[in-house]
Chain A
Amino acid sequence: MLLKQLLEDDFNQIVDERLSDAAEELANSPYDTDLGLNMAQDAKKVVAGKLDIQTFHKKYHASLVKEFGQQVRQGTQEDNGKTKVKWGMVIDLRKCVGCDSCMVACKAENRTPPGISYNVVLEKEVGEFPHISKVNLPMPCMHCDNPPCVQVCPVRATFKLDNGIVTIDNDRCIGCRYCIVACPYGARSYDFGESYEDEMLGFNDVTSPEYGIERGKREPRKTPIGTVRKCNFCLHRLERGEEPACVETCIGDARFFGDLNDPNSTVSKLANSPRAFKLKSDLGAGPNVIYLR
């Protein structure tokens, strides 16, 4: 105990020596020193959980606007705490060339077995010769606002995260496949336990760590086999600060990924474009994958 305290004191001393004096530093800046010090003091409280972030913003909003003028507005709105991240995707159909590389990237990233693809590209010819055009429709999970799959799951194994992503707890799923039946976009698949092992050496060596869960080898009767699987916007990549594999790989840059709650994000701006539309928007599911026609 004593040793620990001594060590802590030593560390604090070193830190104090290294750190420059806050008041002195702030005095060098063109802005108000007292405001800076007070904000830093309260920010510590916010970090420690003793002060609500919203109260913090309320307290300093007026003085911040006075000090920094208009440019502060955007900043405070963003850190307001009221708005959470809502991940969404915009797919520009004019840019999509139908190369299917998003499908391949998804398969490689999530190591999906035969018969399962989190992301598919539907292809269709419209019109009659010579007036024809080809439409490619890349379809990941729509991560709906009111997901029908979540509505019907008897055991709450599938649910919506705060960031808008619809996930599955494969350790709870009983494999009744009601969600597959209820999904209007065909975005869900049942894992029958098939494998590429015959064509691809080492396919069974590792299961993709979906939702950050390391499952090790892919073996018969072992979760996620016997349960339902789906696109999760590459949640494991998002947590590392990377975009979903399909977005990153898209050769035509047709896919955009971002926060739909942030009005200044690229996806928000594109989602408000007159070209934007949603699939089966009459159903009330509220998809968060938006297409540009």
Chain B
Amino acid sequence: MSTVVKETKHPNDKAKGALPTLFKWWIGILLVLFAVGAYFIMERLWLGLTTTNLSSVTPWGAWIAFYIFFVGLSAGSFLLSTMIFVFGMKRYEKVGKMALFIAIICMIVALTFVLMDLGRPERALSALVHWNVTSILAWEMRFYVIYITLLTVELYVAMREDFVRLAAHDSLKGKVARLLTFKDSTINDYTRKRDHRWMKILGTIGIPLAILGVHGGTGAIFAVVSARPAWNSGIFPIIFVVSAMVSGTALLLAIYVIRCKALKQPIDEQMVVGLAKLMIAFLFIDLLLQFYDYLVALYSLADSHLLSLQTMMRSAYSWSFWGIQIFLGAVVPIFLVYWKKTAKNMNALLVAAVFVVIGIIGVRFNIVVPSQIVPIMEGMPAGDYYPTYNEWFVSIGIMAMGLLIFTIADRLLPLDQEMDGSEMGDQNAR
């Protein structure tokens, strides 16, 4: 085990001096993408939403799709972290803190997308001042704030021991740790028990908050709209939560494998295979729920439902449904995880996870766009929406911002510390 610890510490100690070339390239590319995105963000702020292909017929587009996608990623990875911290699934422990941190970053990214989408971004905070209690969106705003706060506190508690241990080091992480801990912070049986209890309490509060409040609620934003029959079903928020679990698990798997490869750390293959199976299990439930939702809509034979289904499955937009949501996001990953030759192959599972994440992006677009393409009343114009360059580059810029925050914070915070860390602490004490 001690060799593992040494290896994990290695690149970080080097970080102060010469950064690895791979890392430099990574940061460089992200900075360029973010700079390009920033240019288009400025353009959007200056010229307003004319830079998008949105209209009064299709008022919500790519940014809203990405917003619900990232809220989903956040809820998904948080719920995965609760499996570890609340239900004690020890075998996923290595990704616990990472999951919490990804949940925070995804919320930041999601809210940045909403900010871009608001016609009056400077009035965004007034959404917290004026409260229309019948508005799901107003509730969501408040849930998001509470949720981010809870995540931050929980992450701090999860990292507290590592901070205390790291404070003795003279590395970059050590300096950050000294900033974030009190001078007399210690680790003993009492604090360990206390921290664990708090993790459990916060995680337990977080579960209903994430399911009912954050992600089920985000689904309810759409589900309550009786004017759009494709959204207006009780199962809709549930599909949101389940697909959040799918994407959250997939993203965590992908980031864990990529990070291990980049930092040349050994991969816990057993855990990755377990995560992949979990991901596919969620995916099956998701597909089942979606199938029933479409079946009920189809069976009604109501024009409004048929038109929505037709727009999604048999129109110029159907490549997104069949190609991305079904083929890339479900068929290929299921095949990769179950085919004997790829079932234990880390690269194949990584590809499966990345495809699942992309597939869920497709799911989010297919939720938001097609039902706004169908005319709201017979005789009214049908929508015609495809994101503009501005919308794509703004989206890429915001996502690059998220990855930048993640990469930098990964250098500063002990996100990957494991259970054998306590031994390391003892060694340092000596």
Query: Which B residues, 128 to 155, have Cβ-Cβ distances below 8 Å to chain A?
Result: 129-132, 134-138, 141
B29 at the interface (CB under 8 A from A): no
Alpha-carbon gap, A173 to B135, bound state (A): 14
A-B CB contacts (within 8 Å), total count: 132
B60 at the interface (CB under 8 A from A): yes
User: Which of A139, A175, A185 is B118 in contact with, Cβ under 8 Å?
Assistant: A175
Beta-carbon contact of B127 and A174 below 8 Å: yes
Q: List 19 A-B contacts (CB under 8 A).
A: A148-B225, A151-B135, A155-B129, A155-B130, A175-B119, A176-B127, A177-B59, A178-B135, A180-B56, A181-B60, A181-B228, A185-B376, A186-B57, A186-B376, A190-B49, A191-B119, A220-B47, A226-B120, A280-B377
A240 at the interface (CB under 8 A from B): no
A45 at the interface (CB under 8 A from B): no
Beta-carbon contact of B56 and A116 below 8 Å: yes
State how many angstroms separate the Cβ of A110 from the closest Cβ of chain B.
Answer: 15
State how many angstroms separate the Cβ of B327 from the closest Cβ of chain A.
Answer: 29
Alpha-carbon gap, A180 to B405, bound state (A): 34
Query: Which A residues, 80 to 117, have Cβ-Cβ distances below 8 Å to chain B?
Result: 115-116
B372 at the interface (CB under 8 A from A): yes
Alpha-carbon gap, A181 to B60, bound state (A): 8
Alpha-carbon gap, A192 to B119, bound state (A): 8
State how many angstroms separate the Cβ of A146 from the closest Cβ of chain B.
Answer: 10
Beta-carbon contact of A189 and B56 below 8 Å: yes
Beta-carbon contact of A153 and B372 below 8 Å: no
9 closest A-B pairs by beta carbon, nearest first, are: A175-B119, A122-B379, A184-B227, A177-B59, A154-B138, A226-B119, A189-B56, A154-B137, A155-B130
Query: Which B residues, 371 to 428, have Cβ-Cβ distances below 8 Å to chain A?
Result: 372, 375-380
B3 at the interface (CB under 8 A from A): no
Note all chain B residues with C-beta closer than 8 A to A152.
134-137, 224-225
Note all chain A residues with C-beta closer than 8 A to B227.
148, 181-184, 283
Say whether, besides A122-B377, A154-B138, A183-B227, A172 and B123 are in contact (CB < 8 Å): yes
Closest to B50 in A: A192
State how many angstroms separate the Cβ of A287 from the closest Cβ of chain B.
Answer: 12
Note all chain B residues with C-beta closer than 8 A to A151.
134-135
Beta-carbon contact of B226 and A172 below 8 Å: no
B195 at the interface (CB under 8 A from A): no
State how many angstroms separate the Cβ of B123 from the closest Cβ of chain A.
Answer: 4
Beta-carbon contact of A178 and B56 below 8 Å: no
Beta-carbon contact of A155 and B127 below 8 Å: yes
Alpha-carbon gap, A192 to B44, bound state (A): 12
Beta-carbon contact of B379 and A184 below 8 Å: no
B347 at the interface (CB under 8 A from A): no
A123 at the interface (CB under 8 A from B): yes
Using a CB–CB cutoff of 8 Å, the interface residues on chain B facing chain A are: 46-50, 54-57, 59-60, 114, 117-120, 123-124, 126-127, 129-132, 134-138, 141, 221, 224-228, 372, 375-380
State how many angstroms separate the Cβ of A145 from the closest Cβ of chain B.
Answer: 15
Alpha-carbon gap, A183 to B56, bound state (A): 11
Beta-carbon contact of A177 and B60 below 8 Å: yes
State how many angstroms separate the Cβ of A78 from the closest Cβ of chain B.
Answer: 34
Beta-carbon contact of B132 and A115 below 8 Å: no
Q: Give the one of A120, A182, A284 with max B CB within 10 A.
A: A182
Alpha-carbon gap, A290 to B247, bound state (A): 47
Beta-carbon contact of A193 and B59 below 8 Å: no
State how many angstroms separate the Cβ of A208 from the closest Cβ of chain B.
Answer: 18
State how many angstroms separate the Cβ of B284 from the closest Cβ of chain A.
Answer: 31
User: Which of B118, B375, B378, B380 is A174 in contact with, Cβ under 8 Å?
Assistant: B118
State how many angstroms separate the Cβ of A91 from the closest Cβ of chain B.
Answer: 15
User: Which of B60, B119, B226 is A283 in contact with, Cβ under 8 Å?
Assistant: B226
Beta-carbon contact of A181 and B372 below 8 Å: yes
Note all chain A residues with C-beta closer than 8 A to B117.
176
Query: Which A residues, 133 to 149, have Cβ-Cβ distances below 8 Å to chain B?
Result: 137, 139, 148
A156 at the interface (CB under 8 A from B): yes
Beta-carbon contact of B119 and A174 below 8 Å: yes
State how many angstroms separate the Cβ of B65 from the closest Cβ of chain A.
Answer: 13
Alpha-carbon gap, A192 to B59, bound state (A): 11
State how many angstroms separate the Cβ of B151 from the closest Cβ of chain A.
Answer: 22
Note all chain A residues with C-beta closer than 8 A to B60.
177, 181
Note all chain B residues with C-beta closer than 8 A to A279.
377
Beta-carbon contact of B135 and A153 below 8 Å: yes
Closest to B56 in A: A189
Beta-carbon contact of A227 and B120 below 8 Å: yes
Note all chain A residues with C-beta closer than 8 A to B123.
155, 172-175
Note all chain B residues with C-beta closer than 8 A to A177.
59-60, 119
Note all chain A residues with C-beta closer than 8 A to B118.
174-176
Beta-carbon contact of A124 and B376 below 8 Å: no
A255 at the interface (CB under 8 A from B): no
Beta-carbon contact of B228 and A155 below 8 Å: no
A188 at the interface (CB under 8 A from B): yes
Contacts A157-B130, A172-B126, A186-B380 known; list 17 others, CB within 8 Å: A122-B377, A124-B379, A139-B377, A151-B134, A152-B135, A153-B132, A155-B126, A155-B127, A155-B130, A156-B132, A174-B120, A175-B123, A176-B117, A180-B56, A184-B376, A190-B55, A193-B50
User: Which of B130, B141, B225, B379 is A156 in contact with, Cβ under 8 Å?
Assistant: B130
Beta-carbon contact of B226 and A174 below 8 Å: no
State how many angstroms separate the Cβ of B74 from the closest Cβ of chain A.
Answer: 20
Note all chain B residues with C-beta closer than 8 A to A120.
380
Note all chain A residues with C-beta closer than 8 A to B377.
122, 139, 184-186, 279-280
Alpha-carbon gap, A100 to B124, bound state (A): 38
Beta-carbon contact of B130 and A124 below 8 Å: no
Beta-carbon contact of B55 and A115 below 8 Å: yes
Closest to B48 in A: A193
Alpha-carbon gap, A228 to B59, bound state (A): 11
A43 at the interface (CB under 8 A from B): no
Contact indicator per residue, chain A 259-289, by CB within 8 Å of chain B (1) or not (0): 0000000000000000000011001100000
State how many angstroms separate the Cβ of A291 from the closest Cβ of chain B.
Answer: 13
User: Which of A124, A172, A221 is B48 in contact with, Cβ under 8 Å?
Assistant: A221
Alpha-carbon gap, A135 to B134, bound state (A): 37
